[in-house]
Amino acid sequence: MTEQYVDYAFADGAARITLTAADRGNPIEPVATAQLHAAVLRAKADGARVIVLAADGRFFSVGGDLGAFAGADDPGALLLDLAEAVHRVITELVRGDAIVVTVVQGTAAGGGFPLAAAGDIVLAAETAKFSLAYAKVGLSPDCGGSQLVHTLGLHRALRLALLGDLLTAQQAADAGLVARVVPADELTATTDQVVATLLAGSPQAFAAAKRLLRDAAEPAPETALRKEAESISALAGTPNGQEGIAAFLEKRAPSFS
């Protein structure tokens, strides 16, 4: 029986998609990604005006399942297939007419960070943290990580990608990424208020505004995502990529050459 990674509910114009594999940190892996993609397409078919993407547990998402990458016969091929699958989800979120609200209750790491940032409106609990984390395992950003330059600025994005710094929820808000930072016990109520505000507006006007602003920031996101997929796939097959993943799983410092 296939494990359920994603829950979907729709009512009154809002689709609520929840990552439910809390015990595993809501990883980005093939089955979870397929279920997330199906949920986003279902929201589109339901005519959702707002999509809320949230998660259960301590993590919004820990990113990729490094254990699966380490055990793959061809990690490069696995990463390419997975990156392209996640990128189809990202494309649907950023290209669709629905306004996407991402709700970050815990840490968003690796691909979980740009997945959260794919929201048009990002809400965060005070305890939320954001980390790209790719450099620590010898890989390059994917899932739209390179597009964080549009929100965070070039040098802040470089610092996160190269030094592995964390962003707190408040720092992410100060940088322009997060729209609201609230205590964890107020996150649900704040989400409901934001959704109500969006549903009260003109869906045509909101969709047009989203399209115009996103096109101004990045007119061809698919091209950027394809470059990311090719980059992380190539790195996964290198000795440094394999050493980075192995070191992470063995909880030791990597020795890159």
pLDDT tens per residue, range 185-196? 999 999 999 999
**Residue 197 counted as domain residue:** no
Query: What's the whole-number mean pLDDT along residues 100-118?
Result: 97
Q: Quote the number of domains for the chain.
A: 1
157 vs 33: CA distance, rounded Å: 25
192 found inside a domain: no
Mean pLDDT of 105-125: 97
Comparing C-alpha atoms, which of 108, 122, 111, 125 is closest to residue 51? 122
pLDDT for 8 beyond 90? yes
- Has residue 1 been placed in a domain? no
Domain assignment present for residue 135? The answer is yes
| Domain membership flag for residue 23 | yes
On whether residue 84 sits in a domain, the answer given is yes
The residue range of the domain holding 29 is 6-184+202-250
How far apart (Å, rounded) are the C-alpha atoms in residues 199 and 48? Answer: 10
166 and 130 Cβ atoms separated by less than 8 Å: yes
Q: What pLDDT was estimated at residue 67? A: 81
pLDDT tens digits, one per residue of 224-243? 999 999 999 999 889 998 89
Q: Is residue 88 part of a domain?
A: yes
Q: Residue 174 maps to which CATH number?
A: 3.90.226.10
HSE-up (13 A, CA, CB side) for residue 123: 23
pTM: predicted TM-score of the whole model, two decimal places: 0.94
Other CB atoms within 10 A of residue 2 CB: 7
For residue 257, is it within any domain?
no
Element (H, E) at 100: strand 99-104
How much is the pLDDT for 186?
98
DSSP letter assigned to residue 2: P
Q: DSSP string spanning 107-122?
A: EEETTHHHHHHTSSEE
**Among 173, 197, 55, CA closest to 122:** 173
Tokens (6 digits) for 79? 């990463």
